[in-house]
A = this chain, B = another copy of it.
């Protein structure tokens, strides 16, 4: 069955303690060209039937209304896997 992927990230201006912890571990380990790490969520929605434009729109709506908190998060992408 087809899958729709919804990607959600914390807003840029928001502190991301978990991301900072990973970035700090990388700095201590050294030898990495990664100066910052941010951590968000990735949802896989299994679709019953075909992915039509209407279904993709429903996924968009769901992404904003149920799968993310618009105060602290941004929906980055909604794509068919």
Contacts and interface: CB of A to CB of B under 8 A. Distances in A.
Interface of A: 1, 4, 7-9, 19, 22, 25-26, 32-49, 55, 58-59, 62, 66-67, 76
A13 to B, nearest CB: 15
A44 B40 contact: yes
B41 A36 contact: no
The binding surface of chain A is classed by DSSP as: strand
Give 8 closest A-B pairs by Cβ, nearest first.
Answer: A36-B46, A40-B42, A42-B42, A38-B44, A34-B45, A35-B48, A33-B48, A35-B46
Q: How many copies are assembled?
A: 2
Given A32-B58, A62-B32, A66-B22, A42 B44 contact: no
